[in-house]
Amino acid sequence: MNILQKVKNVLVDSKVLSAAGLLRHSSHFVYQPDAKPPVDGPTQKMNMFQAINQAMDIALEQNDSALVFGEDVAFGGVFRCSMGLQKKYGRERVFNTPLCEQGIAGFAIGVANTGAKAIAEMQFADYIFPAFDQIVNEAAKYRYRSGNLYDCGSLTFRAPCGAVGHGACYHSQSPEAYFAHTPGLKVVVPRGPNKAKGLLLACVKDNDPCIVFEPKTLYRAAVEEVPVAAFESPIGKADILRNGTDITLIGWGTQVHVLQEVANMAKKQLDVSCEVIDLVSILPWDKETICNSVKKTGRVLIAHEAPLTNGFGAELAATIQEECFLHLESPVLRVTGWDTPFPHVFEPFYIPDKHRCLAGIRKVIDY
């Protein structure tokens, strides 16, 4: 058999497997763009890394003290988020650092304390742990321990996070819960280009150090019409993406798109009306929006890629139990990653995909 015949056979087999639903695809979600731009004015079609690039461009243009730095950011970074910025603003404002996350964070804290706008990239969220002490024990506490004489309010960390189809245990983690336990920080997770741009610009201007966890699988998969002008998305405010009456579905980042697809499936297969909420902000989080929704629907499912035990869904579940107990028709259910290291070949069985989430809805409704 020649090479052309082999390729033809592979293509035919792939079509058959795909039609039968047996072929694994790298994406476990269908991206759902926002219905309309967040502000009026001219827009441009962008994917998420382009929207992030534009946000950093605006930050650098608006403030002469702003700096962008991290591993490989000078040539654009591994996900191309900083492409063209060094050429436009020079090597003194956009530059590479050594491969040392603790050093990146320490330097970022130092320049932020001088009043400069520091935008520091951790190449992967999985690499942020060597910088944990600097972020948690220094950046987060500067304002408190100095009696408000000093702060890191002009410091923003960007970190690509989450499942990507082939990342395995060192390129797939979602570490938001580690940092949500730290007063003094703000933590956000965008679901697409508009949120990524708006949240990043809001973080750059915020009075506290911020971490933006960017779901890396959305960098190219997420495409929207994004306002060209500068705008900010509020930190600490959740978004109701779909109104419903029977159950509240809560997620953030990529999981929001899984839940929107699940909501369609639940309506079609179970005749269940789902309210879908993007939490957006992990710290602080929007207790009012969440609790009002749960009091209305009486049921709730929380989904996230991070492991079950002590994932941020546990904090949501505890608060819902305290604030909404008499309104609940069933226990709060979490559909999450498993309590194991993030796998490689078994990733499809690890992530909380639409099938696991739909089964969770069925369980809650049938309680």
Please name the residues in contact with 293: beta carbons below 8 A apart, sequence gap of 6 or more: 240, 248, 275, 277, 300
Whole-angstrom distance, CA of residue 50 vs CA of residue 263: 29
Residue 101 appears among annotated catalytic residues: yes
Cα separation, 194 vs 222, whole angstroms = 10
What is the C-alpha separation between 127 and 171, in angstroms, rounded?
8
| Distance from the Cα of residue 113 to its chain's centroid | 27
- Of 71, 121, 138, 171, catalytic: 171
Query: Helices in 20-78 by DSSP H: which ranges?
Result: 48-62
Q: Beta strand 118-121 with 67-70: parallel, antiparallel or unpaired?
A: parallel
CA distance 121 to 201: 15
Q: Is the four-CA dihedral 333, 288, 268, 272 of positive or negative sign?
A: positive
171 classed as catalytic: yes
Q: Which of 28, 71, 101, 224 is catalytic?
A: 101
Q: What is the rounded distance in angstroms from the CA atom of residue 250 to the CA atom of residue 270?
A: 19
User: How many other CB atoms sit within 10 Å of the CB of residue 355?
Assistant: 12
Do you know the residue count of the chain? 367
Residues forming the active site: 101, 171
